[in-house]
Structures are given as C-alpha cells and as structure tokens.
A and B are shown apart, each in its own frame.
Chain A
Amino acid sequence: MGKLDNKVAIVTGATSGIGRETAILLAKEGACVVFTGRNKDAGKETADMIAKYSDKSLFIPHEVADEDNWIEVIKKTKDHFGLIDILVNNAGQFFLKPVLETTLDDFNQICSVNIDGTWLGMKHCLKEMKDGGAIVNVSSLMGQMGLPEASGYCASKGAVTSMTKAAALEVAHRNIKINALHPGVVWTPMVGGGDDGNKDLRGFFELETPLREVGLPRNMADAILFLCTTEYLTGSDLNVDGGRLADGAMGSNAT
C-alpha cells in the first residue's frame, strides 16, 4: 500500500531532475501522475521510468507560462483521472547574468516561467482540486537570500515564496495545504551538475555546504512527498539545502 493510493497528482517540469524524480516517487506511492514538460523526448523517458512502477500516468507537453496550456492540462487531467489532489509546481528556469547585462526581456522571461507559471498552476488547479488537497511550490534557497548575478532568479523565487503563503491563507478553509520547498544546490544539469558534471564544481559546492554534500533530486522528491502528505503544515517553508541557509554567511566553513 502506498502513501498516495488513489490520489491524483500533477507534477510540472518532470522531464528531468527534481520533477522527474518526484513524478516517479509519487507514482511509486500509488498516485495517478500527470507529469508535464516542454521536451517531448525527455517526457517519453520519464514515462518509461514511471511505467516500471505504475500504469496510471500521463505525459502532457506543457509550457507553464501559457495560460491556455494550463487550462488544457487541467482539463485532460480531469478527463483522465478526475479531480486533483496534489499539484507540484516544479518547472522553473535559471540563469546567471550581472544586473547590468540583464535585459528587460531576460528578466521578464524568467519571471514568466517561475512566477506566472506557478501562479497559473495554483489558479487553475484550485478550481478543480479536492478539498484537503496539497500544493507544493518549488521555490529555492535563492527565494530567501541573494546570489550575485542572479537578480532575476532571486526576484522570481522570492515571489514564489511569498505567494505560497498568500494562497495558503486563501484556501485554508478548504483544508488545502500550500507550502514552499527550498532546495539548496541540487546536482542537476541546471547548475552544471548531473552525471557528467564537473568534479571541481561539485567539490566547491560541497565545501560551501555544512553537510559537505550536494543535494540530489531524490532528496527533494522525499521532501515533496512529505509536504504532500502532511495534514497541519501550510504556508510554511521547508529548506532542503544541507544547512546552507542556516549557515547564513554562505560558506563560512569553506576556509
């Protein structure tokens, strides 16, 4: 028996990294999983991985900044599996560029994916979500603190952190829980990691983290599952960062 038997879940950005790992874990726990992403080939790969554990999943190509696209994802989910229990707003974008070199287009682009994408997901999902459901917004450690050359990313994730609380307060009367997950460095291609990642870079990140490790997608998926099943946590923040936020001086140990 799984922790999520008969639950219906949507996971965005599930064509790689945290989203893929989360979609697989939720499926393993018995949920019907709709997983979305832009890259169809990678979506097929995730589908093959899920198929090992579950025959109740559906991939939908998805651009999270597009409202019509969201409406379509929700409709298909409902047609296929019924009302929604869980939404994991994971899709996101990251880039490093100094403020002076960041164009307004760059800034608007990252905000549209990270902010609009998350907000649209909550808005359209809440209409078709069962009372007692759960939403997990994947924000970031950088939604709580600064990082040089990441003004767009920090701004967009700060917005996700705040709107998580606002939305949580709005739907608490329906017993719907909305929380934010704050990953630290997760060793995925987004930060130059993954299987082919640079070893020196990994060593640098490890030394900057009190636990002397980088995070893995599985660590985030485990925390997301916890947030999907908790009954009294809402409007909260969960950091899964190996102690980086606590060590506010950012790598004061790395001496």
Chain B
Amino acid sequence: MKSLQNKNIIITGGGEGIGAEASKLLASEGANIILTCKTKEEGFFVEKEIIDNGGSAKYIEHDVTSESDWENVINQASSEFGYIDSIVNNAGSFISQSMESASLKEFRDVINQNLTGSFLGLRYGTKAIREHGNGGSIVMISSVLGKVGASNATAFCAAQGGIRLLAKAGACELGPEKIRVNSIHPGLTDTDIGKFFPEGIEEDQYIKSNIPLNRKATSEEVAKTILFLVSEESCFITGAELTIDGGMSAR
C-alpha cells in the first residue's frame, strides 16, 4: 500500500516550484491533493498532470491572505473529500529590497503573503483537522532566512522567522490533540523564488562561496522532506525545524 493512501492534503502555492513538486510527489504516494494558488492556469496544469498520472487532485483558486478564500478552500475540500489530514503552507513571496528603499506598504505585503497567510493556514487547517479528531500534520514552508539574516531581506527574514516560531507555538498548543506542526527551511532552490542574487553577484559564484554542497536544492528534494513530515514515519516529530540548505547555515 502507498504510504499516504486515503490521506487528504491541502497544499498552498501548489501551482509551481516546491508546491507543485510536493503536490505531485504526495499524490504519487496515494494522497488526494487539494492544491491551491492564485494563478488558475498553473493550478489547473498541475491538477491535470496529477490526474493524467493516475493520481487524485483538485485545484482551488486561493489568495492565502484572504479569510473568505480560506473558508472556501476548506469547505470545498471537505465536501469533495470528507475530511482533511494535512496542510502544507507553502505559498509565499519574496522581494529583495534594502530597508531604506522599502515602503511600509511593501513591508506589510511581504508579511501578509508569508506570515499572515501561514497563520491563516494554521488556523483554518487546525479547524478542518479537528473535525475528525484523529490528529494530523501541518507543514510550514519557511526559509533558511527564517533562521539567519541576509542583506536586502528585512521583510522576508522577519516573515520567515515569524513562521518558524508560529510553527513551534502551534506545536505546543495542538500537541495534545495529536496535530503536529513543523517548519521546513530551504536554502537556495531551483524555483523562481530562488532566482535572486545580490546585485553584481553571479549565481555560480554565489553558490560556490556560500553553499557547502556546491549546488542548489531541487524542488523535489524539498518535496521529499514535506513527504516525510506528513507521513507516519515522523509521528513523534512536532515543533521541529528541518533545515534543507546544503549546509549553508551550518557555519
């Protein structure tokens, strides 16, 4: 039997990058995937790919900063699949900007997209998982920049650091109900969000001098970590942070 047979899992930001890879990987392990994102074309594309490969998936349009959108996602997912086992809060946005040049609005936008979206995911996800009382797993995709700082990333670091402790606080609060909450901290990955380098620095040079394993992560490698955290193999893991950064933050 596949490891996630009969599991119903919501993945936000499922239209591209890590979210898309995770949707495909978890579906291949037997899970019913509810994948959400703002861009319909991307969402439907991943949905179709999963179904064409014999998996089960449903795309729902979703702005993670909107409470009414979250209500809609949970309602639709529940009526389609009956219950929710796991939520992967993956949606996020990145902006490289010096502190002086960022406006308060831009700062708040980054906090909203990343931290507030994850908070709503935790809140609505918990509500949905509680319905059946069997516990579940909530995975927060943060970043290595939720653990260490970087120039031109004040808002992003603040948001990702917030997600890191949001997960831990959630773990403490929800542990007795067997709802596990963990965070994943990827370093540089082969996704769009990873295509950022400080001005004047070449990607190859950056990788060589900053990443001990001397390469970026693939989205699939991060997806495998998500698979581990939603599976039974991690049933005693909660409040943990999994840093998958090729050794970047070990020094």
Interface residues of A (CB under 8 A from B): 165, 168-169, 172-173, 175, 184, 209-213, 215-216, 219, 222-223, 225-226, 230-247, 252-253
Contact = CB atoms under 8 A, between A and B. Distances in A.
Contacts of A168: 212, 247, 250
A42 B8 CA distance: 43
A96 B201 CA distance: 52
Contacts of A230: 221, 224-225, 244
B30 interface: no
Contacts of B249: 235
Given A211-B175, A253-B172, A243 B239 contact: yes
Contacts, number: 128
A226 B176 contact: no
A140 B101 CA distance: 44
Closest 5 CB pairs of A and B: A246-B239, A235-B250, A210-B175, A172-B212, A246-B168
28 contacts: A165-B251, A168-B247, A172-B246, A173-B214, A210-B176, A211-B238, A222-B234, A223-B233, A225-B233, A230-B225, A231-B221, A232-B218, A232-B222, A234-B212, A234-B213, A235-B212, A235-B249, A238-B237, A240-B236, A241-B240, A242-B237, A243-B175, A244-B239, A245-B239, A246-B168, A246-B240, A247-B168, A252-B172
A253 B176 contact: yes
B233 A236 contact: no
Contacts of B196: none
Contacts of B221: 230-232
Contacts of A222: 233-234
B85 to A, nearest CB: 16
A interface: dominant SS: loop
Nearest to B227: A226
A64 to B, nearest CB: 24
B172 to A, nearest CB: 5
B160 to A, nearest CB: 16
A244 B236 CA distance: 11
B235 interface: yes
Nearest to B165: A246
B242 interface: yes
Contacts of B25: none
B228 interface: yes
B90 interface: no
B7 interface: no
A226 B234 CA distance: 9
A173 B207 CA distance: 13
A210 B171 contact: yes
Contact of A242 (B169, B222, B238, B244): B238
B176 A165 contact: no
Interface centre among A230, A232, A233, A253 (most CB of B within 10 A): A232
